[in-house]
């Protein structure tokens, strides 16, 4: 496959060895993403099992625990990227899958908060951190391994199979969840059946380990190691030498940052939007997402292959730009076809919260146990939990907040806290229950639905717009692995490409659901959180267009 350190062109078709490389790398990575995304798909149920607090804050904290796995991904990239550049690609991502699979299996056995108290969320977040570290080392290894086996002119096609694995892993997790839910029923699934998909992962782990043990080392790394040209200090060379460090920064800001928010908006936030905002039942939402993923997944291969012919840069940046320009109309269309009653209520029955601005806070906390006792926060929290958009009007300093729904004006209250500061006292709980009942009656009378009517969901149209969102994902994600590989030399490639990828996807992407929901709760507009991915994608488009160079013709077999 190589001659003089460069890959030799091949004729049409894949050799047996090439098919094995793609299949083995991709299948193992699918299983690893399956493990990682189970938590995200089951976040609302897991929130009730492991965290305490009011529903809105509890769900946000559950999403934060999901994001914890993403926050540590760059550190996993540093640890395993260094190992990959020192000892090789194969053995490094064999280690990562063992860590991932073991952590996922333990989640399925972990007692709930009701059984072991605060230890439950602590252990859960710890396991999520282990998963994030493992995933931080997985992707860079798989992408590098496949790219270094690819012939010239086909790296986009070869690595695009790796790019399908995140979507296929999510798709597989949704199918297993849906099958378990259907077999057990919602009640049993919510109580204990949610553990089954986590426990099943031990079978996937066994298959993945067997597959990876059968793989050979990357030819580029093996050749470089035999010649004694491997890096002795890959992290230093990657990030402390400005020649390479500036490329790492550009890879982050001009590529992966925007790619990440488009990816997570199109797949994960879309699912959360269906279930939490539009109140579509979980099984239906999972089916709609699964269909859109199945329809769009081939386009990862299409755009990866297309990037071999026309270049990678403008496909990725074009996806970022189109997404930024169309997110608002697309999500409004999903509301229109997914819950038309909610859309009508939002248009015809505006809700106003009149409150002292000093009493209105950003309702986000890291413990998941804090209550927000001001009259403004109580009012806005109730409306947000009911997917009601509201306009906030300033009131006199020190005054109590009021909720105006049509002609009804409902006064809120300032709650008193229990001595431990974790909850409302009993009198305040009684007031909260009474206000919740009054607000529920008022918004119901105004036409706000408690949940989406299954008969009114235009499923083909919802799937169409979900498909468009995932199509954007395939544009930005299909070519990005090949481009990242081509930006860095072989001796430090694993480390160099892994860090910007996992900062972009781990921090900017992984924190997207939590950030978006907190923004919506703060502003009172169910679409306001979309500004987060729009702004990030737009920044990536501008920086990438100005400073990132095309890479498809780069020689990836150079050690320096």
DSSP 402: E
**Span 425-432, mean pLDDT?**
91
CATH numbers and ranges of domains, the chain? 2-9+16-339+454-547 (1.20.1250.20), 348-445 (3.40.30)
- Reply yes or no on whether the pLDDT at 115 is more than 80: yes
Residue by residue, what is the 3-state secondary structure of 66-101?
A: HHHHHHCHHHHHHHHHHHHHHHCHHHHHHHHHHHHH
- How far apart (Å, rounded) are the C-alpha atoms in residues 397 and 416? 19
CA 504 – CA 140 distance, rounded (Å): 13
User: Residue 418: which pLDDT band, with cuts at 50, 70 and 90?
Assistant: confident
Q: For 203-241, how does the pLDDT look when each residue is reduced to its tens digit (9 = 90+)?
A: 878 887 887 777 766 666 666 666 566 666 677 777 778
Q: Is the pLDDT of residue 7 over 50?
A: no
User: Residue 2's pLDDT is what?
Assistant: 39
Residues 360-398: pLDDT tens digits?
A: 887 654 444 457 889 998 998 888 878 888 888 999 999
Paired tokens of 82: 């260094």
Closest of 86, 72, 85, 82 to residue 134, by C-alpha = 72
Q: Cα separations (Å) of 16 from 22, 39, 117, 164, 228?
A: 10, 36, 53, 21, 30
Residue 18, pLDDT > 80, answer: no
At 6 the three-state DSSP class reads strand
Alpha helices in 297-396 (DSSP H): 298-310, 313-338, 340-348, 375-385
3-state class of 450 per DSSP? coil
Residue 417 pairs with which residues in a beta bridge? 424
- C-alpha triplet 193, 199, 200: angle, nearest 5°: 100
Sign of CA dihedral 381, 382, 386, 390: negative
Angle at 231 between CA 226 and CA 236, to 5 degrees: 175
Question: Which residues contact residue 550 at a Cβ distance below 8 angstroms, ignoring those fewer than 6 apart?
Answer: 311, 312, 313
Write down the pTM of the prediction. Answer: 0.81
Tokens standing for residue 88: 């090789």
Give the contacts of 410 (CB within 8 A, at least 6 positions apart). Answer: 402, 403, 404, 435, 438, 439, 442
Least confident range of 42-46, 53-57, 388-392, 498-502: 53-57
The 10s digit of each residue's pLDDT in 266-320 is: 988 898 899 988 999 988 998 899 899 889 989 999 999 999 999 999 999 999 9
pLDDT at res. 422: 64
Strands (E), 125-224: none
DSSP secondary structure, 503-536, as one string: HIIIIIITTHHHHHHHHHHHH--TTGGGHHHHHH
- Across-strand partners of 2? 7
What is the number of residues in the chain? 560
What is the distance of C-alpha 263 from the center of its chain?
A: 7
Average of per-residue pLDDT values in the chain: 83
Distance CA 560, CA 558 (A): 6
312-326: pLDDT as tens digits: 999 999 999 999 999
């Amino acid at each position: 496959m190589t001659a003089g350190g460069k890959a030799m062109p091949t004729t049409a078709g894949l050799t047996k060895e090439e098919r094995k490389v793609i299949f083995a790398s991709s299948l193992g990575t699918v299983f690893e993403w399956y493990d990682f995304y189970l938590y995200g798909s089951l976040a609302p149920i897991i929130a009730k099992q492991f965290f305490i607090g009011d529903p809105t804050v509890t769900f946000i904290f559950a999403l934060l625990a999901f994001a914890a796995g993403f926050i540590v991904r760059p550190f996993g990239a540093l640890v395993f990227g260094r190992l990959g550049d020192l000892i090789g690609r194969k053995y490094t991502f064999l280690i990562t899958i063992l860590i991932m699979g073991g952590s996922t299996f333990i989640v399925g056995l972990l007692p709930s908060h009701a059984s072991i108290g605060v230890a439950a969320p602590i252990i859960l977040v710890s396991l999520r951190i282990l998963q994030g570290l493992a995933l931080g080392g997985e992707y860079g290894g798989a992408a590098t391994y496949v790219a270094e086996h690819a012939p010239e002119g086909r790296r986009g096609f070869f690595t695009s199979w790796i790019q399908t694995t995140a979507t296929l892993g999510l798709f597989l997790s949704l199918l297993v969840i849906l099958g378990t839910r259907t077999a057990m029923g919602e009640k049993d699934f919510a109580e204990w059946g949610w553990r089954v998909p986590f426990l099943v992962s031990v079978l996937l782990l066994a298959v993945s380990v067997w597959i990876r043990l059968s793989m050979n080392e990357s030819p580029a790394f093996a050749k470089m190691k035999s010649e004694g040209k491997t890096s002795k200090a890959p992290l230093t060379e990657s990030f402390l030498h400005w020649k390479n460090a500036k490329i790492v920064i550009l890879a982050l800001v001009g590529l992966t940052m925007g790619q990440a928010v488009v990816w997570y908006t199109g797949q994960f936030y879309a699912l959360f939007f269906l279930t939490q905002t539009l109140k579509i039942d979980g099984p239906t939402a999972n089916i709609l997402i699964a269909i859109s993923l199945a329809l769009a997944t081939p386009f990862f291969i299409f755009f990866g292959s297309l990037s071999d012919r026309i270049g990678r840069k403008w496909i990725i940046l074009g996806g970022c730009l189109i997404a930024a320009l169309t997110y608002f109309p697309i999500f409004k269309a999903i509301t229109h076809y997914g819950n038309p009653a909610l859309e009508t209520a939002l248009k015809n029955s505006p809700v106003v919260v009149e409150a002292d601005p000093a009493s209105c806070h950003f309702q986000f906390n890291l413990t998941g146990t804090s209550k927000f006792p001001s009259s403004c926060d109580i009012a806005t929290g109730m409306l947000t939990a009911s997917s009601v958009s509201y306009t906030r009007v300033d009131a006199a300093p020190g005054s109590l907040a009021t909720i105006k729904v049509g002609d009804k004006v409902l006064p809120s209250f300032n709650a008193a806290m229990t001595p431990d500061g974790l909850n409302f006292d009993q009198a305040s709980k009684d007031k909260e229950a009474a206000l919740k009942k009054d607000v529920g009656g008022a918004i119901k009378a105004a036409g706000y639905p408690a949940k989406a009517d299954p008969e009114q969901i235009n499923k083909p149209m919802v799937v169409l717009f979900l498909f468009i969102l995932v199509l954007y994902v395939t544009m930005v994600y299909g070519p990005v692995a090949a481009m990242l590989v081509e930006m860095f030399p072989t001796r430090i490639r694993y480390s160099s490409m892994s860090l910007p990828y996992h900062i972009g996807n781990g921090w900017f992407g992984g924190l997207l659901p939590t950030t978006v929901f907190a923004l919506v709760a703060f502003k009172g507009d169910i679409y306001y959180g979309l500004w987060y991915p729009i702004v990030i994608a737009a920044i990536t488009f501008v920086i990438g267009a100005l400073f990132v160079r095309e890479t498809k013709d780069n020689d990836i077999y150079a050690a320096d």
